[in-house]
Structure 1
Amino acid sequence: MTTTEPPIEPPAAQASTRRAWLREHSELGVCVMLLALGAVVLTDALTMDVALTQRGPVGPRTVPVAVGTGLLVVAVLLAVDVLRGGRGEAEGGEDIDLSEPADWRTVLLLAGVFLATAVLIEPVGFPVAGALLFWGAAYALGSRAFHRDPLIAAGLSLVTYAVFNNLLGVPLPGGPLMGVL
């Protein structure tokens, strides 16, 4: 009696097969992220020192434990669904052509605008840094209304500053202009 062994695939074919499997099961990445996030939330909640603050059966750990447990359950259920062949449906209104390359210019412009806002928010204050953020994001995303965009950005930034600083009581850095206004 002779046994026949299956043919051995070359390493390139194995890598190609593995990539194809990973591409078909890409939702498993979301499962891993949800699992990690749930573990972090549960670990943080269970190591919380609440000896003096809890008065009754429902304490400060209740919601984080529920959220962390929910994240773990959703991660496991999603992984089971994906491994059984389930796939997320594409959004009906989605207009992205996945065969086109990424627009790195826009991504880099937005990253630069966010970085500039983070650097400038303390020295120039939120109203100026926020206006630059709003105007820069509009420019990076394609708006070229140079007469209108800076005015809208300034108005949005001032309204946001006033709502957070004055109405909600969340102090934002005002910068040198707040002494004038």
Structure 2
Amino acid sequence: MWRRRTLPAVVALLGVSGLGLITVGVTADPARPPRPPVDAPTRTHPAPDLAPLPRAAPVRVQIPAIGVRAEVVPVGADAAGVLEVPPLDRPTLAGWYRHGVSPGETGNAVVVGHVDSPAGPAVFFDLGRLRAGQEIQITRADARVTTFTVDGVRSYPKEHFPTTLVYGPSDIAGLRLITCGGRFDAGTGNYVDNIVVFATRTA
């Protein structure tokens, strides 16, 4: 199947170049996005015994702690297996990796977003400010709203992207939010790191 053949290529390239696309087109010296703490993400709350939800695309993400309320659109991968992101001229959109699980299914759902754009900060600019215990709400196409609680937030150099932690198997419903961060390399037009939020479904 296409999904099984191409997923390894997507995850292998994601940390090196996939999310580098988030900052393409930024020509001014951008404000540096917040850096998360250096502590490793650990589950600070028990995962409740929740029945997995059926598959349904996410349509909106809300993160009250950092003021995010954004539409979510499906994204895939290009011919080279690089994860796509929403159009740079629509920096307030988030993108759900549609070839993975949907939020609420068993496994880790992946949602990506721009950190900035030529116009300034974008949807996930403040992702690094999130802390363990804060909540993320995902509204799905079936009208269900599912809540995830943050386990931790980490910054990773793109060449050391945590592929297994993001895309690896899980026996619970998890969520991964991803954007760029760290130092901005004016020569390449990209940030050198990825910010990853790890969260577990709690309602």
Q: Give the TM-score category using the shorter length.
A: under 0.3
Question: What TM-score do you get using the length of structure 2 for normalisation?
Answer: 0.19
Higher strand fraction: Structure 1 or Structure 2? 2
Pick the structure with greater CA Rg: 1
